[in-house]
C-alpha cells in the first residue's frame, strides 16, 4: 500500500475543486461530457495507435502498482544472501539446493540454480543481466504509455478548445452566448492540462520509480549471487551489499 498516491490525488482534487468553489464557480461548469469525450478519446486513440499491444497491456497491468507497489525488501534479501554465502562456505554450493527449492522469486531462484550447477560467475552475471535488461525495458515501456498519454492530453485539450472557439466564432451574431461558449471551450483545456499534470504524468513518474527500485533490487541480488559464485568471503559480501541500502 502506498498511502502517498491516495493522498496526492486527494490533495490535487481538493485544491482544484475547492478553488473553483471558493471562486464562486459551479461544479457544473467544469463538467462537460463533450469536452471529456474529445480529450479522453483523442488521448486514448493516440496512445492506442502508438503502443505495441504487449506494452499497452503491461501498462494496464502495472496501473494497480501506483497504489499497491510490489514489495521490495532489499534489507531482508541482503541478510538472506549473506546467510547463503556463509552456508556456501561451510557446505559448498550444493548446500544451497534446499534453499533454491523454496525460493519464491523466479529471478533469484534462477540465479541460485545456476550457482548450484556450478556455472562460471561470468556466465551467471551475463545470463542474469539479460533477464534484468529485458524486465527493465518491458516495465519502462509500460510506464511510457502513461508518459505518452500525459504528453498528448494537453495538446488534445487545446485542440478541443480551438474546436469550441471555432463553434463560438461562427455564432458571433448572438453575443449573449459568447461568454458561455468560450467557457465551454476552455473546459477542454482544463481536462487536458489537469488530466496530464494531476494524473497521467505523476503516475508515469511513479511507475518509473517503481521500475528503478525493482531493477536496483535485482542488481543487488545479482551482485550477491555472483560474489558467492566467486567465493568471496561473507564479510566482504556484507560490506558490498549494505552499500545498496539507502537510509
Q: Are 56 and 48 in contact (CB under 8 A)?
A: yes
Is 53 among the residues that bind its own copies (CB under 8 A)? yes
Q: How far is the CB of 64 from its own copies (least distance, A)?
A: 15
Cell of 2: 502506498
Other residues' Cβ atoms within 10 Å of the Cβ of residue 76: 10
Binding its own copies (rule: CB under 8 A), the pick from 82, 96, 187, 221 is 187
Other residues' Cβ atoms within 10 Å of the Cβ of residue 216: 13
Distance CA 205, CA 212 (A): 11
Maximal C-alpha separation, the chain: 91
Residue 91 or 126 having the CB closest to its own copies: 126
Residue 91 or 122 having the CB closest to its own copies: 122
Cell of 88: 556456501
Distance CA 173, CA 182 (A): 14
Number of residues counted as binding its own copies (CB under 8 A):
118
Is 147 among the residues that bind its own copies (CB under 8 A)? no
Is 225 among the residues that bind its own copies (CB under 8 A)? no
Residue 103 or 223 having the CB closest to its own copies: 223
Q: How far is the CB of 186 from its own copies (least distance, A)?
A: 5
Measured on CA atoms in the order 243, 245, 246, 247, is the torsion positive or negative? Answer: negative
Residue 91 or 243 having the CB closest to its own copies: 243
Is 82 among the residues that bind its own copies (CB under 8 A)? no
- Stretch touching its own copies by CB under 8 A, among 76-84, 86-94, 96-104, 211-219: 211-219
Q: x/- contact string, 11-30, with its own copies (CB under 8 A)?
A: xxxxxx-xxx-xxxx---xx
Is 126 among the residues that bind its own copies (CB under 8 A)? yes
Contacts of its own copies in 163-182 (CB under 8 A)? 163-173, 176, 178-180, 182
Long-range own/partner contacts, residues 91-98 (CB < 8 A, 24 or more apart):
93/118, 93/228, 93/229
Amino acid at each position: 500500500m502506498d498511502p502517498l498516491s491516495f493522498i496526492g490525488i486527494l490533495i490535487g482534487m481538493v485544491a482544484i475543486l475547492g478553488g473553483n468553489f471558493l471562486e464562486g464557480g459551479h461544479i457544473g461548469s467544469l463538467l462537460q461530457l463533450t469536452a471529456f469525450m474529445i480529450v479522453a478519446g483523442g488521448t486514448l486513440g493516440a496512445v492506442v495507435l502508438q503502443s505495441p499491444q504487449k506494452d499497452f497491456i503491461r501498462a494496464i497491468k502495472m496501473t494497480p502498482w501506483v497504489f499497491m507497489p510490489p514489495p521490495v525488501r532489499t534489507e531482508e534479501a541482503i541478510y538472506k544472501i549473506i546467510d547463503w554465502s556463509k552456508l556456501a562456505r561451510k557446505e559448498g554450493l550444493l548446500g544451497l539446493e534446499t534453499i533454491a527449492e523454496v525460493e519464491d522469486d523466479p529471478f533469484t531462484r534462477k540465479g541460485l540454480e545456476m550457482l548450484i550447477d556450478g556455472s562460471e560467475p561470468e556466465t551467471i552475471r551475463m545470463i542474469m543481466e539479460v533477464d534484468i535488461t529485458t524486465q527493465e525495458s518491458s516495465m519502462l515501456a509500460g510506464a511510457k504509455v502513461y508518459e505518452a498519454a500525459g504528453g498528448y492530453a494537453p495538446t488534445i485539450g487545446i485542440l478541443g478548445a480551438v474546436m469550441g472557439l471555432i463553434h463560438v466564432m461562427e455564432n458571433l451574431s448572438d453575443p449573449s452566448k459568447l461568454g458561455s461558449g468560450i467557457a465551454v471551450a476552455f473546459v477542454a483545456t482544463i481536462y487536458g492540462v489537469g488530466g496530464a499534470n494531476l494524473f497521467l504524468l505523476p503516475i508515469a513518474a511513479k511507475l518509473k520509480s517503481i521500475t528503478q527500485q525493482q531493477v536496483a533490487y535485482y542488481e543487488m541480488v545479482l551482485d550477491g549471487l555472483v560474489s558467492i559464485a566467486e567465493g568471496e568471503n561473507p564479510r566482504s559480501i556484507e560490506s558490498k551489499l549494505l552499500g545498496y541500502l539507502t537510509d
